[in-house]
Amino acid sequence: MVAGTETAPLPPRLRRRPARIALLVTAFVCAACGLVYELSLVTLGSYLLGDTAAQASITLSVMVFAMGIGALAAKPLRRHAAAAFVAVELILALLGGLSVVMLYAAYAWLNIYTTALIVIASILGILVGAEIPLLMELLQRIRKQEPGSAVADLFAADYVGALLGGLAFPFLLLPVFGQIRGSLIVGVVNAAAGLALVFLLFRTELRPRARWGFGALTALVAATLFGSYFYADRFEATAQQALFAHPIVLHERTRYQNIVLTESISPFGTPDTRLFLNGDLQFSSVDEYRYHEALVHPTLAGPRRDVLVLGGGDGLALREILRYPDVETITLVELDPEMIRLARTDARLTALNRNAFDDPRVRVVNEDAFSWLRGSPGAYDAVLVDLPDPDQTSIAKLYSKEFYAMAAHVLAPGGTLAVQSGSPFFAPRSYWCIANTIRAAGLRTLPYHVDVPSFGDWGFVLATRDTEPRLRLDPPAPLRSLDEATLAAAAVFAPDRRDTGAPVSTLMHPVIVDLELREWRR
């Protein structure tokens, strides 16, 4: 204790061992809550913006820096450690519990997400950083001990609590309660832990007026958090709708992604159903046939007895493949089983994919495509890579040289691979990065592009291992958007949209994500 600092005399009961245990348990709980706040901010950013690495770096670096500021700021408060700790925990509970709500609102309505993230992470970091010095002061008031021993006890409780928070967030709070309600619950726990410690063990250090003031503040924080909990669904639905131009008819947050279906009437008077995964448009029912015909039919112009589809959980590529009666087996590898369930059961999707998953030739594998390919699952005459755009770090491996090398390994002699590759018009460096990465994996490539009004100019890469790839068609019936003349034009690129010399993307150097984000934001 600082020389000259006066504190209230400690009641005899506080000299007992249980008091120290109670304080260390409080440190344990507060550390768990603090880590949950950090993980909530990182996860929300990855859902809304992609680029998980950047979101984690910004959030963690800002919070750790702010924690240092908070620790320094707490030094003058040590004389009134009990009152300061209650105040810190109540403010932290309120702001931490509402942090996801505030950031989601900043993204949906104000378009100032990054600025809001830095401000909120800074405030939370300052408050979390102030906890340890104040708890250290209270611990010494219970029983004087060597500074090194006190630090060891407190930091042990803090680190173990962080482990609890780190495990509880992905395995309990996120899947059971969701991000908004999970953060609100943690806020309540945070406030309860701080209040219980001070009001049960250090009540005599608070003046009556302070006790009444903290009681009123507690009631306000509790009312705000509980009210937000009950209105969480309504807030989330309103905020989500602000992000989409058309009415949302289905929303599901699965273990892997956020699935949204919207529905409206197109300018042509027909229903327009749109699928969004983590905010990115996957298809519009008005023109999705243009995309899927361009992906599937040039690939199946050659051998096609056994077909592999990586991604494509909506079943629309399956619909096109099943038009070929000589296709014997189709293996579809889709990570998210909930996407498959929707594609099998949702009336809007089954009308579009024509109940493709009910065909006995189709086998669904719910695994990560990268991990599944590592098992050398066999040889396929045609491989279709229909994966989401690489705007998240977690997807970068599916656009890497290593991934395409494994895909080439499962190609049967004479087989053909096709990869959806983004827009050569809006994101040319990203598009040519994919083409060059496929080539670096040992395949011969033929880039091509078609017009899909919902996306604009959209590109693909056709690749083979044994012979030079050729754009040709051999469908069992005429197609709606493709013919030989259209396909011949698809291989021609304007001078300012030709190969930019983009680098190859690998597991250890995933340049594709950075290129994708920079070009689309530009």
pLDDT in tens, the chain (522 residues): 444 444 454 555 445 678 888 999 999 999 999 999 999 999 888 878 766 777 888 999 999 999 999 999 999 998 899 999 999 999 999 999 999 999 999 999 998 999 999 999 999 999 999 999 999 999 888 878 787 888 898 999 999 999 999 999 999 998 889 899 999 999 999 999 998 988 888 888 888 888 899 989 999 999 999 999 999 989 988 988 888 888 999 999 888 888 999 999 877 778 999 999 988 899 999 999 999 999 999 999 999 999 999 999 999 999 999 999 999 999 999 999 999 999 999 999 999 999 999 999 999 999 999 999 998 778 999 999 999 988 777 788 999 999 999 999 999 999 999 999 999 999 999 999 999 999 999 999 999 999 999 999 999 999 999 889 999 999 999 999 999 999 999 999 988 888 878 899 998 888 887 766 666 555
CATH of 15-243 among 2.60.310, 3.90.700, 1.20.1250, 1.10.8 = 1.20.1250
Q: Cite the annotated binding site for spermidine by residue number.
A: 292, 314
Tokens matching residue 105: 């609102």
Give phi and psi for 296, each to the nearest 5: -85, -50
Tokens matching residue 266: 């197109």
- CA dihedral (101, 103, 106, 109) positive or negative: negative
Question: Which pTM was predicted?
Answer: 0.83
Q: Which candidate in 158, 346, 381, 386 is catalytic?
A: 386
**Number of neighbours of residue 265 by Cβ within 10 angstroms:** 10
At residue 256, the pLDDT reads: 86
At residue 203, the pLDDT reads: 85
Q: Cite the annotated binding site by residue number.
A: 257, 292, 314, 334, 368-369
At residue 205, the pLDDT reads: 86
Helix (H) or strand (E) holding 242: helix 232-243
The domain ranges of the chain are 15-243, 248-277, 285-520
**Number of neighbours of residue 195 by Cβ within 10 angstroms:** 22
Strand, helix or coil for residue 503 = coil
Whether 483 sits among the annotated catalytic residues: the reply is no
* Burial environment of residue 317 by CB neighbours within 10 A (0 to 12, 13 to 18, 19 or more): buried
Give the C-alpha separation, 375 to 43, whole Å: 30
At residue 15, the pLDDT reads: 53
**What topology is assigned to 285-520 in CATH?**
Rossmann fold (3.40.50)
Nearest to residue 299, comparing CAs of 467, 476, 461? 461
At residue 5, the pLDDT reads: 43
Q: Is residue 271 a contact partner of residue 263, using CB atoms and an 8 Å limit?
A: yes
Q: Cite the annotated binding site for S-methyl-5'-thioadenosine by residue number.
A: 257, 334, 368-369
Give the C-alpha separation, 5 to 485, whole Å: 88
Total number of residues shown for the chain? 522
